[in-house]
A and B are shown apart, each in its own frame.
Chain A
């Protein structure tokens, strides 16, 4: 057993083991917490790539319902500005064909949120061009069928996928009446923070939800269409009678695609 004077001396001596432990603990705490703090800061900063803007601080409410009017008479044949803009905005252009894949097959496997379609009336021969994407239904079949609740509708009417809950069963793709959804068939090396796509999940147009959450006025496709001078896509709040969208809808005759399904789509078409 140590005598009392030894104990006194030993407490005066620096305990290197204890000090080392404290150092390690501090290091571990920094390494553990720093990425979270950094991500939190980044998430609240609104990166310039997302167009800046002030991030939403309040929960989403149903005081608004986002939607679109697509005037097919203004949609130009051969123009794919909306598609390119969507691809760029949501990082869809970062998808790469896996080595060894068959290009024709890959073409059917790659994710696409919006596409241009050209249709002809069987009786009259009238031809229309239009962009087609998720129609953001009030009663979305994809939400009904999703077993885990990953497919959901926000209070503001945006239909989207919770990438943490999606198990990749693809039942929503079976159920979507507009064939608007895509499955991620391969690893995605590069992705944007606003659209963090991962292999094995389903995704679709979310009306540029990051822009909504940063208080920006429009969507990438609508902006691109306007920049081309066509103004075929009008985005806005369906619930605000004063919004340009509501006013245009009041003036122009419009319809839902597959209206017999009574889904009350948020995207409306005129001239088709």
Chain B
């Protein structure tokens, strides 16, 4: 096998600084949105006492879930010994940390009291999965950075496999924790099911991979580094498997819910009568976010074209945001069953009178804060690949796997 040569991103300064400036402006707008929301209070958002988690959470959870998924590429190389993926390990680790930082930033900046972050770091209630997540997130960051060091420092090569295995185990725990935030909520029908934990793991596999493919293709294209067709074929094949996995879990979720008569209304709401949430489920998540990209990558001609593969990845990301819109916001909007077999005729607190869905319209500051988190993640990635050797000089098949060139 040829020695992999890693090189810093060698973009023309103008182009590089232009890109950084663009990302900084988006991140800055997110910062301004935070300042506005923090200063005024959450009344300037679309969030209410019914929809308590809104658009910022949608972005934050997407980024956190994608972060653990982005690390998969490194894990496949290290834990499962697939040499083709090993040259991508460094970039995979960098992207994972960057996405997590972006996601956590959004989550923290949406708190009612972001100034009390120190309380969250020092006062723990260990019955809370949220408190565990604080440790899982910070632990993930530390472990992945250590893992990256074992990849990049020759003298620490001996710890490479152990660090990779620990990081892989930890990322599974992390996404289990994220899914459990919803899975443990007994109060709301859309949640309250253990299947959400593994479902979030499969979703993280898919969304993280889609982000990874897209950012990798962009980074390589900017710098004129080739990506071999065999490598791309492996990556898109993985994406097809993960799409099938997410579809399977959607099916299991609904079958689990349908097993009890008490949830017929919920399933009907998601699949038929939920208005914008039904639309987001079918068109955003299932059709555009899963079936369309699956069709593209399995298509004999389109599936060979890198541009179409990038397009499929973008669709998966769109579908990922739609899925969290359906789960996070749709799940809250479904009226809570305070009185089973009774209809609420009147209420002084909008308790889903007559089965009415809770209203929610995202406000501009919420969207800007979410996009700010995305920009921060990309900013960290752009700086990382520029100053350190994260990206291989070539991802051509002959350079990363001598057998791959033949197979392609």
Binding site for B on A (CB under 8 A): 80, 83, 98, 101, 105-112, 115-123, 127, 132, 141, 143-149, 165-171, 173-179, 181-187, 199-202, 257-258, 261, 272
Quick check: B186 and A148 within 8 Å, CB to CB?
no
Sorted nearest first, the 7 A-B pairs with minimum C-beta distance are A168-B112, A200-B112, A115-B348, A108-B48, A177-B187, A147-B130, A115-B349
Closest to A163 in B: B113
Contact with A179, one of B127, B184, B349 (Cβ below 8 angstroms): B349
| A156–B336 CA distance with the chains assembled, in angstroms | 28
B14 at the interface (CB under 8 A from A): no
For A257, what are the chain B residues with a Cβ–Cβ distance below 8 Å?
A: 338-339
Q: Chain A residues near B359 (CB, 8 Å)?
A: 108
Measured CA separation A116–B326 after assembly (Å): 30
Q: Which residue of A has the minimal Cβ distance to B337?
A: A258
Query: Residue among B181, B336, B338 with the most chain A CB within 10 A?
Result: B338
Report the contact-size class of chain B (Cβ under 8 Å from the partner): 35 or more
Interchain CB contact (< 8 A) of A146 among B128, B134, B186, B345: B128
**Contact A170 B338, beta carbon cutoff 8 Å:** no
Minimum distance in angstroms from A162 CB to a CB of chain B: 10
Residues of B within 8 A of A175 (CB): 184-187
Bitwise interface map of B from 350 to 389 toward A, beta carbon under 8 Å scored 1, else 0: 1100000011000000000000000000000000000000
Q: Which of A168, A179, A182 contacts B336 (CB 8 A)?
A: A179
Measured in the bound complex, the distance between the Cα atoms of B340 and A170 in whole Å is 25
Distance from A3 Cβ to chain B, minimum over Cβ atoms (Å): 60
Q: B210 to nearest A CB, angstroms?
A: 27
**B319-346 Cβ-contact flags toward A at 8 Å (1 or 0):** 0000000000000100011111111111
Q: Are B52 and A174 in contact (CB under 8 A)?
A: yes
Interchain residue pairs with CB less than 8 A apart (26): A80-B348, A105-B43, A109-B49, A116-B347, A117-B338, A117-B346, A118-B347, A120-B342, A147-B130, A147-B131, A147-B133, A147-B134, A165-B123, A167-B119, A168-B111, A171-B128, A173-B52, A175-B186, A177-B338, A178-B187, A179-B338, A183-B52, A183-B112, A185-B47, A186-B43, A272-B339
Q: A105-B46, A121-B341 are in contact. Are A116 and B348 (CB under 8 A)?
A: yes
| A119 and B113 contact, CB distance less than 8 A | no
CB neighbours (8 Å) of A174 from chain B are 52-53, 185, 187-188, 332
**Residues of chain B whose beta carbon lies under 8 Å from any beta carbon of chain A:** 40-43, 46-50, 52-53, 111-114, 116-117, 119-120, 123-125, 127-131, 133-134, 181, 184-188, 332, 336-351, 358-359
Which of A127, A143, A171 is in CB contact (< 8 Å) with B130?
Answer: A171
A118 to B40, CA, bound (A): 34
**Residue in A closest to B346 when the chains form the complex, CB atoms:** A118
CB distance from A221 to the nearest CB of B (A): 13
Cα–Cα distance between A261 and B340 once the two chains are bound (Å): 12
Contact A182/B49 with A109-B43, A112-B349 known, Cβ cut-off 8 Å: yes
B113 & A167 in contact (Cβ 8 Å cutoff):
yes
Residues of A within 8 A of B125 (CB): 143, 146-149
Cβ of B88 to closest chain A Cβ, rounded Å: 35
Asked if A83 and B348 sit within 8 Å, CB to CB, the answer is yes
Which residues of the other chain, A, contact B40 by a CB distance below 8 angstroms? 98, 186-187
Let me know if B111 and A261 touch, CB within 8 A.
Answer: no
In the complex the two chains form, is B130's CB within 8 Å of A115's CB? no
List 15 additional A-B contacts (Cβ < 8 Å) besides A141-B186, A166-B116: A116-B347, A118-B346, A132-B349, A145-B184, A146-B130, A147-B131, A148-B120, A165-B119, A173-B49, A179-B49, A182-B49, A184-B41, A185-B43, A185-B47, A199-B41
Q: How far is the CB of A260 from chain B (nearest CB, A)?
A: 8
Selected from A108, A181, A200, the residue in CB contact (under 8 A) with B111 is: A200
| Docked pose: A215 CA to B358 CA in angstroms | 40
The chain A residue with its CB closest to the CB of B41 is A186
- Looking at the complex, which one of B43, B112, B332 makes contact with A167 (CB distance below 8 Å)? B112
- Tell me how far the C-beta of A266 lies from the nearest C-beta in chain B, rounded to whole angstroms: 17
